[in-house]
Amino acid sequence: MFRKVLIANRGEIAVRIIRACEERGLQTVAVYSDADRHALHVRRANEAYHIGPPPASESYLRIDRILDVAHRSGAEAIHPGYGFLAENPAFARACEEAGVVFVGPPAEVIAAMGDKVAARRRMKEAGIPVVPGTECLPDEALIAAAGDLGYPVMVKAAAGGGGKGMRLVRCPEELPSALEAARREAKAAFGDDRIYLEKVIPNARHIEIQILADTHGNIVHLGERECSIQRRHQKLIEEAPSIAVDDELRQRMGEVAIQAARAVGYVNAGTVEFLLDRDGNFYFLEMNTRLQVEHPVTEMVTGIDIVKEQLAIASGRRLRYRQEDIAPKGWAIECRITAEDPYNGFLPSSGRVVVLQEPTGPGVRVESGIYEGFEVSFYYDPMIAKLIVWGETRAEAILRMRRALREYRIGGIQTSIPFHQKIMDHTEFIWGTFDTEFLERRLGGGLAPRPEMEEWQRVAAIAATLVAHERGRRAIILSHERNGRTSPWKQAARIEALRR
């Protein structure tokens, strides 16, 4: 086992990886941009090194600077987390050439599965069912192929991920503009404007299988995750197991996921994603060659620390588990807490966190990258934390999540917490009858503004400003008291009471 690990990431996932390293007895190295100089992952690591200005292209995506830090710090391994360079084959290859262990699959596997069309082709050759679709073709050929596939169709970027370069097209008239927009977005996001079409599976659910594979040819799956609660192809709530998957289907999907991993020589942690139709048929969607945001729900039901297993596999150790040893228990749900305003079309919200009260208690887990006084930047992904709960049953997990969301307090910025509360109370979610179009169908534009919202935002802004300026805070309190008026903080407390 190596002794020092560099975490080439930031925020809550960097903190998560640091904790796993500490529990393995490993030293940790953080990297940070100007915007993250006071970030939580910087505080938690044994060492921290500056790598550039706030834009990711000048810091967290600079392979040369990260490898320079690895050399200067003596780090023997690099964990990429997710996002940024996690699925960049050039980064994995550069680590290998520099003599640093990349905690993930080989570069050639990342490259093979990163091209969605090439991945589909590999899966077909391995006898794995894939969603009907096309190769990468010129627009004229794609328009003709869409008629053969039948509408609706999904336009997708060949090098895509994270919902970039994707467009749902319901009729022929929408296709030309969707192709143009998808190519433009794919070029900007990935430097590759190749696109293709996939047939839309109606009322499908998004089910993924977590796998672990070592360098000795051993592969196991850790069961499925339900990831159908999505907004604009971005997952917001995940759970394990899925209410739509029984034991027989779970076994079949797990076997196919392992078959897919063997077909590409997969090593380390990965996820095979499927679309599941109403009749129990499932189709390969893509393979994520990295740790997933939603990995904690699998950890909660299996008791297996996936990040620790990644580190062990990267050091050359054999898997400690056989397939028969994997026995999921109970139910876990995860809510992605983002700095977005669900009452205003999910617009990003940046600013200083002036109040933070995280939920606790039995079966509650919070993975966070913020603290009171932390400045949430607009430079990076809006996800600031993950709230995960476990219960013996799905019903208990939902009730526990409701309780935990009520306890969660983040002041100074807008967050997605009210949105998650709405979903936990929604009949379709409770009964488990949702699919990937649930949010667009029911809450496409977010939450309707509340009558008291404008006043609450005004008072919160006043409070945040006064916390930052102590003299101003005291002066306004004295002014209100002299004139017999209620202070802004008492107003805020009253509004909070009304909200409850």
Q: pLDDT tens digit string along 133-164?
A: 999 999 999 999 999 999 999 999 998 676 78
Is residue 365 part of the annotated active site? The answer reads no
**pLDDT bracket for residue 464 (50, 70, 90):** low
Let me know if 476 is exposed, middle or buried by CB neighbors in 10 A (0-12, 13-18, 19+).
middle
Q: Over the Cα atoms of the chain, what is R_g?
A: 23
Location of structure tokens 């996002």: 83
Contact 60, 84 (CB under 8 A): yes
The pTM assigned to this predicted structure is 0.88
pLDDT at position 1: 82
Q: pLDDT tens digit string along 329-367?
A: 999 999 999 999 999 989 999 999 999 999 999 999 999
Q: pLDDT tens digit string along 109-123?
A: 999 998 889 999 999
How far is the C-alpha of 381 from the C-alpha of 379, rounded, in Å?
Answer: 7
Percentage of the chain modeled with pLDDT above 90: 82
pLDDT at position 462: 54
Q: Which domains, from first to last, does the chain contain?
A: 4-103 (3.40.50.20), 132-199 (3.30.1490.20), 205-443 (3.30.470.20), 453-499 (no CATH)
Is 70 exceeded by the pLDDT of residue 496? no
> Within the chain, what is the greatest distance between any pair of CA atoms?
80
Q: pLDDT tens digit string along 172-229?
A: 999 999 999 999 999 988 888 999 999 999 899 999 999 999 999 999 999 999 999 9
The token duo for 251 is 């076994």
Location of structure tokens 């009520």: 406
Question: How many DSSP H helices and E strands does the chain contain?
Answer: 18, 22
**Of 120, 225, 290, 400, which one is the catalytic site residue?**
290
